[in-house]
Amino acid sequence: MRGKSLGGLSPPWVALLCVASFSIGMLFTNSRWSSSPEEKDVIRTTMAQMNQEQQLRLDPANCYSKPKPLNEEEASRTITEKLTNIKALVSRNLAKDGNSTQVLGLAAAQSEDNARNFEASSTYETLSPWKHKRKKAFVVVGINTAFSSRRRRDSVRRTWAPRGQKLKQLEQEKGIVVRFVIGHSATPGGILDRAIDAEDLQNADILRLDHVEGYLELSAKTKIYFSTAVDMWDADFYVKVDDDVHVNLGALATTLAHHRRKRRVYLGCMKSGPVLAQKGVRYHEPEHWKFGGEGNRYFRHATGQLYVISQELATYISLNQQLLHRYANEDVSLGAWFIGLDVEHVDDRTMCCGTPPDCEWKANAGNACVASFDWTCSGICRSAERMKDVHRRCGEGEGAVWNITF
């Protein structure tokens, strides 16, 4: 049985007001919070308006009368305005106090949890961090690429990634979004950026990021990719894969379907490689001292060729971008962001098969790999030339992705 309304407010709105009041208390009793005169005026005005509105709802003819019931639309508009004022104050202070960013991120996540328990759908929309309508999807596959990798991209388009109408059809019918992911050059609008724009005009399969491309900036690119993807698509999963890796989209979707009900899941080929302190070597770790003495190994994390995270983890990255530390290696950075969180790590070895004959044997046995590459090259060696052969021998068949059901 539904509970009785309190003072004209339905239980969902009472809960929402409690969340809003708690957020105000948390923000303005923080010992490190420093408000400008302008912000104090906004606070005083907001609180005065709320008190005045409550007084106006009392019947002056009877001091014992209960508040008049709130109109649903009016209540939604009033509370949204108050939360907008609070969010504006927080946003102006993000650069001043890192704790404010953390409070905002955790409060937003908590608000989404609370919203799941509210009965009114309008309440959920009010508390959700996404104020715009996102496209629904099952999985977003972001193919990490660079300006110099046109031949690699074309080899992927000719093999495992659909093109043209099939690309759109895959999104509409199966909820599988595939995009090459790239930022911009150090000179925006230059010849490199124009070439990518022309390529996207031809293929409509490139996601541009607000990021300056560079090999040493892969950790930052990974963070921006997940933040951008979760802002554009309301998907269950978000994948990052390199453009020199072969992927069977049907096997990927089938695998992820088994984990669909998990809120915080991180999938890939988990490893724990050595922390390389020596300068000049590949994968050198400048912050090696943080991982203990010489010879230590990293915590478990997914290898960088392909990994998958659920929507809640992508949202966490998006809301806490300013707090998340970047290490030299992007796969280490991603693993570090989840240390201390209640995250399920799934070690799936089908996401790191070798090139033929390894992936070919498995495909012939009816167990097509999710991803295949050469460990020695951290991808398929000479992938632009070999991707077609790997796809011929290890591919799941053109109809596989179209026949999957969730």
> Among residues of the chain, what percentage have pLDDT more than 70?
67
Residue 214 or residue 251, greater confidence: 251
80 pLDDT higher than 80? no
278 pLDDT higher than 80? no
User: What burial class does residue 231 get, using C-beta atoms within 10 Å of its C-beta: 0-12 exposed, 13-18 middle, 19+ buried?
Assistant: middle
Comparing 38-52, 183-197, 201-215, the range with the smallest average pLDDT is 38-52
159 pLDDT higher than 50? yes
User: Could you tell me which of 306, 396, 386 has the C-alpha nearest to residue 359?
Assistant: 396
33 pLDDT higher than 50? no
| Backbone angles phi and psi of 114, in degrees to 5 | -65, -35
Torsion sign across C-alpha atoms 305, 310, 313, 317 = positive
- Give the pLDDT confidence of 160-199 residue by residue, as tens digits: 999 999 999 999 999 999 999 999 999 888 999 999 999 9
- Give the pLDDT confidence of 317-359 residue by residue, as tens digits: 999 988 998 888 889 899 999 999 999 999 999 999 999 999 9
- The two most distant CA atoms of the chain are separated, in Å, by 88
Q: Are 218 and 120 in contact (CB under 8 A)?
A: no
- Please tell us whether the domain made up of 135-403 is placed in CATH 3.90.550: yes
- Report the pLDDT value the prediction gives residue 63, as an integer from 0 to 100: 44
Query: pTM here?
Result: 0.69
| Residue boundaries of the structural domains of the chain | 11-127, 135-403
- Report the pLDDT value the prediction gives residue 116, as an integer from 0 to 100: 44
Highest-pLDDT range among 44-53, 109-118, 186-195, 296-305: 186-195
